[in-house]
Amino acid sequence: MIVLVISPARKPGRFLGYVDGELIVQSRQPFLDGARVLLERGHAPSIPYNMRRANSDVPSFVTTTIGHAAELRVDEARTRFRKFVQFEEPISEAAE
């Protein structure tokens, strides 16, 4: 299982997402964007995936797969998940 560990970024509303201590994403929706980064890096879509906050050992969600999480986006108007639609710009990785 891959666990994304998040902590607040300096910019309000954004989070830093780490996997095994490596910063992989900075995002407003780190769980979903982190899954897309992991897929781009060659991880199998079937790998179990979850997230937790840096100061907690409790998972944030019911465990899913990288592939399933990568297919979703947040519908901010209705505060629920929706099907992801690819953007023109690449996902902002931590290396920026």
Tens-digit pLDDT profile for residues 30-58: 999 999 999 999 999 999 999 999 999 99
Q: In terms of pTM, does the model score above 0.95?
A: no
Measured distance CA(50)–CA(64) in Å, rounded? 7
Rounded to an integer, the average pLDDT of 60-77 is 88
Measured distance CA(68)–CA(66) in Å, rounded? 6
Measured distance CA(38)–CA(19) in Å, rounded? 9
Please tell me the number of Cα atoms within 13 Å of 53 on its side-chain side: 6
Q: How far is CA 30 from CA 12, 17, 91, in A?
A: 14, 6, 11
